[in-house]
Amino acid sequence: MNRNYQSYESVTQSILGFAAYARSNELNVGVREAQEALAIASTGLIADKEVFRYALKSVFCSSEENTRVFDQLFESYWGQPKAFVKSRITMKNQSIMQKQMQRSLVLMGKGDSKEAKEEEAKNVSGANAAEQLRKTDFSKLSQIDSEYLEKLAVNLWKQMSRRLKKKLKRSTTKGRIDIRQTIRNSISSGGAMLELKLKHKKPTKNRLVILLDVSGSMDKYSFFLLRFILALRSHFQKIEAFIFSTKLVRITEFLKTRDLDQVLKILGTNTDNWSSGTKIGDCLRTFNDDFCKRALQGRSMTIILSDGLDTGEPELLANELSRIKRRTRKLIWLNPLKGMAGYQPLARGMKAALPEIDVFRSAHSLDSILELENYLADV
C-alpha cells in the first residue's frame, strides 16, 4: 500500500509503478494505459506536476467516480512523504464514517442482527456501501441511509424505465410488408421497388394496475413502494394505482403531480386509513365492483404489494383474487416479508391467495424491486 515514486530508480519505472498502484486500487489501468502514460511523459508534460496529473487522469479514469479516487492516489504516490501521510488520514476518516453508517444499520436491525452482521463484515469501501444498501431491507434503514437510498433508487428506476421503453420501441420495428405504400414509394425511383415499407404494429398501450397495502404492518415499506409507483408512472402510459387497508382508495389522480412530498400530503388529507388494520378481501371486492371493468382490460398486468396479513375472511380474498385473475394478463404479488430468511406463506390470507397468483416475489429491498423489470418488460 505505501508505495511512492521514490522507491524506484528510473522515471520509467516510477511511471509503471504508478500504473500498477492505480490498478491495485481498482482503476481500470491496463498495458495500453501504461504505455500511454509513458508516451505522455516523453512529450514533456512531466515537467509540470499539475499538468502531468491532469494528463494521467484523462488516461487512467473512465468515470467521475474514478477521478476522485485518482486524485488521492496521485497525491500519495507522487507527492512528498508528508502529503502522503495526509492523504492516508483522509482515507482513514472515510472509513470511520462508513463504520458509523454501518452501526446505524445494525441499530435499526432491532435485535435481529444476523443479517446486519453479515453486512458489516462485507463493508469495505464507498462503492460497496451503495451496493450493500441496495440489498438492505427497507425496514432496517436509518434516516440518513434512507435519504441516500432514495437518491440511489430514483436513479436506478429512471434507468429501468428507460430500458423498458427501449425494449418496447424496438419490438415495433418489424411487421408485414405494406404493398400499397411500397408501390407508392417506388414512383420516385421510376417504378423500381427499392425500399420495402412495412406495416407497423400499432403500439399497444401498457396498462398496469397497482394495489398498495398501507396498513400498519406495511408501514416501513409503503413509503418506498409508493416512490416506486411514482417512478413507474413515467414508463406506463396508463397506470391505475390504489391504496388499501380497511378501505380502498383510488390514488391515480394524485400521482399526476410528480413531487412525492406533495403526493404524501394529498394522500394524508384525502385518506383516513393510512397505517390502520387490513381487510384485503373487502378491499379487493370494492376494487372488483367499482373499478375492475375500467381498470383491467385483458392486456393489463396487476401488481399487489402487501404482506398478506389479513384480518378478514380468507375465502373472500381467494374469491376476489380469482375474479381479478380472470380479467388480467398476469397477477403479481409482491410481499416484503418474503425477503426474510425462513419466511413461509403461512398467514391465512397469504395461504388462501397463493393458488391464484402467477408470480410471487419479495419487495423488501431495492434490488428485489429492480428484479421486477423482467416481468414488466413483457407487458
Partner 1 sequence: MIKEVSAFVNSFDKLGYVVDEELATILYLMTSLQKPLLLEGHPGVGKTEVANILAAHLGTELIRLQCYEGLDIHSAVYEWNYQKQLLSIKIQESNQKTDTEKEKHIFGEDFLMPRPLLKAISGKTKSPVLLIDEIDRADEEFEAFLLELLSAYQISIPEFGTISAKYPPFVILTSNRTRELSDALRRRCLYHWVNYPDFEKELRIVHKHLPDINQKLSAQLVRTIHILRNKNLEKSPGISETLDWAMSLHALGKKELDEESFAMTQGSVLKSYSDTEKIKSAGVANILEGG
Residues binding partner 1 (CB under 8 A) = 28, 30, 32-33, 36, 39-40, 43-45, 47-48, 50-51, 54-55, 57-59, 61-64, 66-67, 159, 162, 166, 169, 188-190, 192, 194, 258-259
Give whichever of 59 and 370 is closer to partner 1, judged by the CB atom: 59
Alpha-carbon gap, residue 337 to 110, rounded angstroms:
16
Closest CA to 366 of 157, 219, 214: 157
Alpha-carbon gap, residue 197 to 179, rounded angstroms:
7
CB atoms within 10 A of CB 16: 16
- Least Å distance, CB 231 to partner 1, is 15
Give whichever of 52 and 242 is closer to partner 1, judged by the CB atom: 52
- Least Å distance, CB 50 to partner 1, is 7
- Answer whether 186's CB lies under 8 Å from 219's CB: no
- Least Å distance, CB 58 to partner 1, is 4
Give whichever of 40 and 116 is closer to partner 1, judged by the CB atom: 40
Alpha-carbon distance values, 345 to 87, 296, 337, 362 (Å)? 52, 27, 9, 11
- Least Å distance, CB 19 to partner 1, is 14
- Least Å distance, CB 208 to partner 1, is 23
Give whichever of 122 and 184 is closer to partner 1, judged by the CB atom: 184
- Least Å distance, CB 172 to partner 1, is 11
C-alpha cell of 230? Answer: 411514482
Closest CA to 358 of 310, 315, 326, 313: 326
DSSP per residue, 112-168: --HHHHHHHHH--SHHHHHHHHTTS-GGG--HHHHHHHHHHHHHHHHHHHHHHHHHH
Give whichever of 154 and 347 is closer to partner 1, judged by the CB atom: 154
C-alpha cell of 342? Answer: 425462513
Alpha-carbon gap, residue 91 to 79, rounded angstroms:
16
Q: Which residues pair with 207 in a beta bridge?
A: 238
Alpha-carbon gap, residue 155 to 113, rounded angstroms:
29
- Answer whether 373's CB lies under 8 Å from 160's CB: yes
Give whichever of 61 and 331 is closer to partner 1, judged by the CB atom: 61
- Least Å distance, CB 270 to partner 1, is 20
Q: Which residues pair with 199 in a beta bridge?
A: 176
Give whichever of 29 and 105 is closer to partner 1, judged by the CB atom: 29
- Least Å distance, CB 164 to partner 1, is 13
Give whichever of 143 and 173 is closer to partner 1, judged by the CB atom: 173
- Grid cell 410488408 is found at 177
